């Protein structure tokens, strides 16, 4: 693995050197790097003029790489990991930037990376695996955005912006067919209703068969089945699949310009995701104690290395049967009003409501024995209101934004938990949250080419969590141990004041350098998984002080773009959630063998560097790439962490030390008949752990994925045809692992998709 990684780094470095040398040779040829406008500082700025580490990706770029989910956005962003959640955490993603984030979707916990759609904050990880529906751009802001993005953006923020209606009468429709009966259909239409009222409607539907087979163990392994009956009557031993996708959605946007100084945008979105449970393989099947079943539970059910899974999603002895689904239904509406009060004074109001329902199923034992089965449902709704006042003083010498933000949400963490023999209950826990903040941001220009940036935000948070543990048969209070917490509740309240101070100087049209200090925090909460009343406890926020130096450059007649950032973070009161728990105290009257409670584990230093480049050595040829390095080291660990075996060299989940991406595309001109553009792109992710306890059971080896496609576009741009392949080398790799090895000897991984081919056609009109 190390040898492969070193080879990958050398190859990537040579690509950069060769590309840069070629650019120097032909640097006199005029070229113009694509300008992307971002709004990270509450106002429109060119990406290269914004003194923040940002990866900005246009909707066109995402389409060219066949990306259709926010998870794929992270592939080209340095020090960013977005990963599909495991079956244990439903429909969310594990989101980490620069070693800070969150993977647990429970509403008691706060995200560490802020997710936004059209400037509307998405307050939970449930339903965060957004489809990239008719996007204008994606902005990935790295480092704490405590004063800019605000709530729980301690690691950074990911912002999706959809296309605004323009009334052009234009649109498109596209269709894709590929491996595993993949069928995707997308379309959008922009309509002018009147001279000052426009509408844009976008829709998509996508489906794909699962790539992991649910295999009937007794049918496929008759000599090892013991007393297990054959389930598959057709004798093909296949009960179904996992990892299948079935999602559809529609977005309607209205844009009104009732006067020269007022703009109103209304957006409504409906998403229906009826996909299968994630593509799971079993990695561990060895409980610490023999459950006393006639057919032993042991390593015969491990399927890692294959695309098979032996779980049946049933508990025969309890009459508990579920379908392997991971579903999310969401409906949202938002309204933004922009009013120009004067030449240099604008008021913005953003109001939004979101309602979603998440459902998921986890077969933890991965066998037909019915040892562990969990279903979860997560209804959730939120309301947000943000007000901003943007203005200028002194003919642009001072730009400012002041505002306020209000957030409230309510949801339920519910479902049924069966884990032989200790747990068998139904839970339905209401969780309510409220947050209020005020903020100010200024950009001063004391001398030509210099800017000084300052920001401050005060936030006040409150959260309540009530526990319900009922018996599945009687409906009364569940039996021990969890019945003891039925009806108990926990509360958390806290506040934070965050700051930002930065300076940047443009030395020339080709070079901007900047330095900044910023703070951020992730809110505290309540332990969502207590087993005894004594474990119903709150935990405090985690915080970061971040220092960053960087530059943004365009040189050699703008044929080369190179952006570099280095950072040092002091990360304190880190919240850890050990899926395996840490031991309780036997002398405690509330003793239970373990507790999976979140706790503030200590402090750490995070250091790293990031680089992104785009090179156009000759007309038509584009080389692009990114590389990042991150070093994480605990500087203090509390007693709970050391008692659980944590050491200073442990690293956060989903945080690779090295990460890089590279792509090459060349556009061939076919006289006046159009263009043909072959493209190849790769991304490397170093080793990661998926749990903070860094055991071998949650270790995922490094992987390099290679994708390629070729595009033909007609001369008038009306038609586009694409043929491509993903995971070109057919690498077997894991995306996520959920293991509880020290509790019940179980573990399972989400396995990535094998090599797949696809072809698509798009008609623009």
pLDDT single digits (tens) 218-236:
999 999 998 899 988 777 8
Structural domains in the chain, CATH included, are 2-764 (2.40.170.20)
Q: Determine how many CB atoms are found less than 10 A away from the CB of residue 743.
A: 18
Provide the pLDDT confidence category of residue 12 given band limits of 50, 70 and 90: very low
Q: Which of 179, 316, 166, 308 is nearest to 242 (CA)?
A: 308
Query: Which of 31-45, 443-457, 594-608, 743-757 shows the lowest per-residue confidence on average (mean pLDDT)?
Result: 31-45
Q: Is residue 66's pLDDT more than 80? A: no
What is the DSSP secondary structure assignment for residue 76, as one 8-state letter? Answer: G
pLDDT given for residue 532 in this prediction:
82
pLDDT tens across 130-152, in order?
A: 888 899 999 999 999 989 988 89
632-656 pLDDT, tens digit per residue, is: 999 999 988 888 889 999 999 999 9
Give me the pLDDT at residue 303, please.
Answer: 98
Could you tell me the pTM of the whole model? Answer: 0.93
Sign, CA torsion 140/146/151/154: positive
Give the model's pLDDT for residue 65. Answer: 76
Nearest to residue 655, comparing CAs of 73, 10, 214, 99?
A: 99
What is the per-residue pLDDT across 545-559, written as a single tens digit (0 to 9) for each?
Answer: 999 999 999 999 999
Burial class (CB in 10 A: 0-12, 13-18, 19+), 14: exposed
Residue 59: predicted pLDDT: 86
Reported residue count of the chain is: 765
- What sign does the CA torsion over 216, 218, 222, 225 have? positive
Band (pLDDT 50/70/90 cuts) for residue 11 is: very low
Q: Which of 69-78, 294-303, 724-733, 751-760 has the lowest mean pLDDT?
A: 69-78
* Nearest partner of 85 among 70, 103, 98, judged by Cα: 103
Q: 24 pLDDT band (50/70/90 cuts)?
A: very low
pLDDT digits (tens, 9 = 90+) for 371-406: 999 999 999 999 999 999 999 998 889 999 999 999
Tens of pLDDT, residue by residue over 594-634, are 567 788 999 999 999 999 999 999 999 999 999 999 999 99
Question: How many angstroms separate the CA atoms of 679 and 663, rounded?
Answer: 7
Q: How confident is the model at residue 591 (pLDDT cuts 50, 70, 90)?
A: very low
pLDDT tens figures, 89-108: 877 889 999 999 999 999 99
Rounded Cα gap, residues 372 and 424, in angstroms: 10
Instruction: Encode pLDDT of 239-254 as tens digits.
Output: 999 999 999 999 999 9
In eight-state DSSP terms, residue 89 is: G
């Amino acid at each position: 693995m190390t040898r492969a990684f070193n080879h990958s780094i050398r190859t990537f470095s040579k690509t950069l050197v060769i590309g840069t040398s070629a650019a120097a040779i032909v640097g006199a040829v005029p070229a113009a790097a694509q300008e992307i406008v971002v709004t990270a500082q509450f106002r429109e700025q060119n990406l290269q003029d914004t003194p923040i580490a940002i990866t900005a990706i246009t909707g066109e770029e995402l389409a060219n790489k066949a990306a259709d989910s926010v998870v794929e956005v992270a592939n080209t962003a340095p020090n960013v990991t977005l990963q599909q959640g495991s079956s244990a955490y439903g429909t969310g993603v594990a989101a980490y930037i620069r070693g800070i984030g969150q993977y647990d979707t429970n509403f008691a916990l706060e995200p560490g990376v802020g997710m936004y759609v059209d400037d509307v904050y998405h307050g939970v990880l449930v339903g965060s695996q957004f489809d990239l529906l008719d996007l204008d751009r994606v902005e990935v802001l790295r480092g704490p955005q405590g004063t800019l993005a605000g709530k729980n953006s301690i690691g950074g923020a990911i912002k999706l912006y959809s296309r605004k209606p323009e009334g052009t009468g234009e649109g498109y429709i596209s269709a894709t067919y590929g491996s595993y009966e993949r069928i995707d259909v997308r379309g959008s239409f922009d309509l002018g209703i009147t001279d000052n009222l426009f509408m844009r409607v976008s829709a998509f539907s996508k489906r794909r068969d699962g790539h992991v087979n649910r295999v009937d163990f007794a049918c496929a392994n008759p000599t090892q089945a013991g007393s297990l009956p054959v389930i598959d009557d057709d004798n093909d031993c296949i009960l179904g699949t996992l990892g299948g996708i079935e999602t559809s959605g529609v977005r309607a946007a209205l844009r009104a310009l009732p006067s020269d100084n007022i703009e109103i945008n209304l957006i409504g979105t409906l998403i229906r995701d009826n996909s299968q449970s994630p593509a799971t393989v079993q990695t561990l099947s060895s409980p610490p104690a023999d459950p006393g079943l006639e057919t032993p539970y042991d390593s015969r059910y491990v399927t890692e290395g294959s695309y098979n899974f032996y779980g049946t999603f049933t508990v025969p002895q309890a009459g508990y049967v579920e379908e392997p689904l991971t579903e999310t239904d969401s409906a949202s509406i938002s309204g933004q009003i922009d009013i120009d009060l004067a030449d240099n004074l604008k008021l913005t109001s953003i109001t939004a409501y979101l309602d979603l329902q998440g459902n998921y199923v986890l077969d933890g034992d991965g066998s037909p024995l019915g040892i562990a089965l969990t279903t979860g449902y997560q209804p959730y709704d939120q309301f947000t209101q943000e007000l901003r006042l943007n203005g200028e003083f002194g003919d642009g010498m001072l730009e400012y934004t002041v505002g306020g933000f209000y957030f409230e949400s309510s949801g339920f963490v519910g479902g049924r938990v069966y884990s032989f023999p200790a747990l068998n209950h139904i839970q339905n826990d209401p969780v309510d949250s409220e947050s209020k903040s005020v903020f100010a941001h200024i950009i001063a220009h004391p001398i030509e080419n210099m800017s000084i940036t300052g920001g401050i935000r005060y936030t006040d948070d409150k959260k309540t969590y009530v526990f319900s543990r009922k018996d599945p048969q009687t409906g009364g209070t569940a039996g021990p141990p969890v019945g003891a917490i039925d009806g108990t509740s926990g509360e958390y309240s806290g506040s934070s004041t965050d700051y930002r101070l930065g300076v940047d100087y443009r030395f020339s049209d080709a070079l901007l350098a900047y330095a900044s200090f910023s703070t951020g925090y992730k809110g505290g909460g309540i332990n969502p998984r207590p087993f005894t009343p004594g474990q119903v406890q709150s935990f405090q926020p985690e915080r970061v002080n971040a220092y960053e130096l960087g530059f943004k450059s365009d040189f050699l007649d703008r044929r080369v773009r190179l952006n570099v950032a280095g950072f040092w973070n002091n990360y304190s009161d880190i919240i850890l959630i050990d899926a395996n728990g840490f031991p309780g105290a036997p002398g405690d009257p509330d003793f239970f063998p373990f507790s999976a409670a979140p706790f503030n584990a200590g402090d750490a230093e995070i250091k790293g560097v990031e680089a992104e480049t785009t090179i156009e050595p000759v007309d038509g040829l584009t080389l692009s790439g990114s590389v990042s390095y991150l070093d994480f080291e605990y500087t203090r660990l509390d007693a709970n962490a050391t008692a659980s075996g944590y050491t200073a060299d442990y690293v956060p989940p989903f945080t690779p030390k090295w990460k890089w991406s590279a792509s090459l595309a060349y556009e061939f001109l076919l006289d006046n008949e159009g263009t043909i553009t072959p493209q190849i792109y790769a991304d490397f992710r170093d080793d990661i752990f998926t749990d903070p306890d860094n055991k071998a059971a949650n270790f995922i080896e490094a992987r390099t994925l290679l994708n390629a496609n070729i595009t033909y576009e007609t001369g008038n741009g009306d038609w586009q045809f694409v043929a491509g392949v993903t995971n070109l080398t057919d690498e077997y790799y894991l995306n996520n692992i959920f293991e509880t090895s020290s509790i019940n000897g179980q573990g399972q991984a989400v396995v990535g998709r094998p090599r797949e081919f696809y072809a698509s056609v798009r008609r623009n009109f």
